[in-house]
C-alpha cells in the first residue's frame, strides 16, 4: 500500500506509532519501525540532552529502518532548553521529527536546513493551515477521541479528518480513535494518507509499561475515559480511574490547578505505569481502548492492521460495488 506518507517518509506501511511521553523509548520505536510502521521516540522522556543522544543511538542499533523523534513544546512544567534538544536531534542525523504542543516555527529553519521532514500534531483545521504555511511536511490531526490533549473544539475524526484533507495540500495523518484495519480503511476513505496510533501501540508487548496497565486497557470499553483539565482550557483525555474522578470533582468545585497538581504529578504517573496500579496516577489513554482486545507484538499489530484494511478495501467495499453494478445490470 503506497500513499504520499509512505513515499515521503520511506516507510512500508501508512502507519505511525506517535510519540508518547515515557512510553516512546528506543525499544518501542525500533519495534514499530522494524514492523514497517514509523516508530517515534519521545525526546522529553529523556531528562537530559545527553540522555536523548544516547537513546537515539540505542534506537539506531535496534533498527535500520526510518524512525522519528517527537519534540513536544510548551506543555512541560519544568524549564526546558528546546534549542539544545533541537541541536541534539539534528546532530544525531535523525531525518523525521514529530512536533506537538506549540508551533514548531522557531525551529523550522534549522530542521529544514538539516533535511528533516516535520510532522506536526494539530487538533483543529485552523492550526493545521498555520502549520502548512510555516512549511511542515505532514499534519497529524487529532480527533476528539484521542488520548492526551484533544483541544477544546470537540470535533470527532469522522468530521475533522475530511475537513482537514479538503483544506490542506500536504499529506494528513488521521489520529485519535484508530486501533485496527477498519480505522485505516476509514481514514483513507476520508482523504487521509495514513494513520497515527498511540493507545494501540501502548498495548503491545514491546511497550515499556506494566502488563497490568495493558490488561486494564484490554478490559475497558469506549466509555472508560474521562476528560479532565477542562476548566483550565487544557483538556486531557485519560483513563477513568479514582484520580480522574477526584480531579473532575475538584474542578467542578472551582479548584485551582495548584490544588490538583499533586494528584496528576509525574511521580504518580510513573507509579501507575511501572507498578500496574491503575489508580495510582493519571493514565493517558484514548477511547479506542474499547476496540483493543489483545496484546500483540508490534509486528503482529502492523500485519493485522494492514491485512484487515486491505480486505475491507479490496473485498468488502469492492464486493458492494460489484453487487450494485450487477443489480443495475439486471434492472
Phi, psi of 265 (to 5 degrees): -60, 155
CA distances from 99 to 106, 122, 131 (A): 12, 9, 10
| Higher per-residue pLDDT: 290 or 323 | 290
Q: What angle do CA 141, 70, 281 make, to 5 degrees?
A: 85
Q: Is 240 helix (H, G, I), strand (E, B) or coil?
A: coil
Determine which of 43-47, 71-75, 137-141, 189-193 has the lowest per-residue pLDDT on average: 71-75
Q: What is the pLDDT of residue 328?
A: 53
Residue-wise pLDDT for 171-212, tens only, equals 999 999 999 999 999 999 999 999 999 999 999 999 999 999
* Predicted model pTM: 0.93
Q: Where are the domains of the chain?
A: 4-208+296-321, 211-288
Sign of CA dihedral 237, 16, 187, 200: negative
Model confidence at 75, pLDDT cuts 50, 70, 90, reads low
Residues β-bridged to residue 148: 237
Per CATH, domain 4-208+296-321 is 3.30.1330.40: no
Q: Is the pLDDT of residue 323 over 70?
A: no
Q: Is 265 helix (H, G, I), strand (E, B) or coil?
A: coil
Amino acid at each position: 500500500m503506497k500513499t504520499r506518507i509512505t513515499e515521503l517518509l520511506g516507510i512500508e506501511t501508512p502507519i505511525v506509532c506517535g510519540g508518547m511521553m515515557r512510553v516512546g523509548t528506543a525499544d518501542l520505536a525500533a519495534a514499530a519501525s522494524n514492523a514497517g510502521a514509523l516508530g517515534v521516540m519521545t525526546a522529553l522522556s529523556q531528562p537530559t540532552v545527553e540522555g536523548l543522544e544516547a537513546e537515539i543511538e540505542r534506537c539506531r542499533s535496534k533498527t535500520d529502518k526510518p524512525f522519528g523523534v517527537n519534540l513536544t513544546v510548551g506543555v512541560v512544567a519544568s524549564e526546558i532548553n528546546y534549542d539544545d534538544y533541537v541541536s541534539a536531534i539534528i546532530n544525531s542525523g535523525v531525518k523525521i521529527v514529530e512536533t506537538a504542543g506549540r508551533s514548531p516555527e522557531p525551529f523550522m529553519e534549522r530542521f529544514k536546513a538539516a533535511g528533516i521532514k516535520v510532522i506536526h500534531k494539530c487538533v483543529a483545521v485552523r492550526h493545521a493551515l498555520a502549520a502548512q504555511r510555516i512549511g511542515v511536511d505532514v499534519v497529524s490531526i487529532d480527533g476528539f477521541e484521542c488520548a492526551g490533549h484533544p483541544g477544546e473544539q470537540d470535533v470527532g475524526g469522522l468530521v475533522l479528518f475530511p475537513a482537514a484533507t479538503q483544506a490542506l495540500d500536504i499529506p494528513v495523518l488521521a489520529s485519535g480513535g484508530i486501533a485496527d484495519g477498519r480505522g485505516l480503511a476509514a481514514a483513507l476513505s476520508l482523504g487521509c494518507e495514513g494513520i497515527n496510533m498511540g493507545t494501540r501501540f501502548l498495548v503491545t508487548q514491546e511497550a515499556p509499561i506494566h502488563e497490568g496497565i495493558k490488561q486494564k486497557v484490554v478490559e475497558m470499553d469506549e466509555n472508560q475515559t474521562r476528560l479532565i483539565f477542562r476548566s483550565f482550557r487544557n483538556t486531557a483525555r485519560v483513563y477513568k480511574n479514582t484520580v480522574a474522578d477526584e480531579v473532575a470533582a475538584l474542578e467542578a468545585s472551582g479548584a485551582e490547578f495548584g490544588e490538583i497538581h499533586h494528584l496528576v504529578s509525574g511521580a504518580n504517573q510513573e507509579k501507575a505505569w511501572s507498578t500496574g496500579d491503575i489508580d495510582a496516577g493519571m493514565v493517558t489513554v484514548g477511547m479506542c481502548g474499547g476496540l483493543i482486545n489483545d496484546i500483540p507484538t508490534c509486528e503482529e499489530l502492523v500485519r493485522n492492521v494492514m491485512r484487515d484494511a486491505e480486505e475491507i478495501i479490496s473485498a468488502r467495499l469492492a464486493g458492494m460495488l460489484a453487487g450494485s453494478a450487477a443489480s443495475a445490470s439486471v434492472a
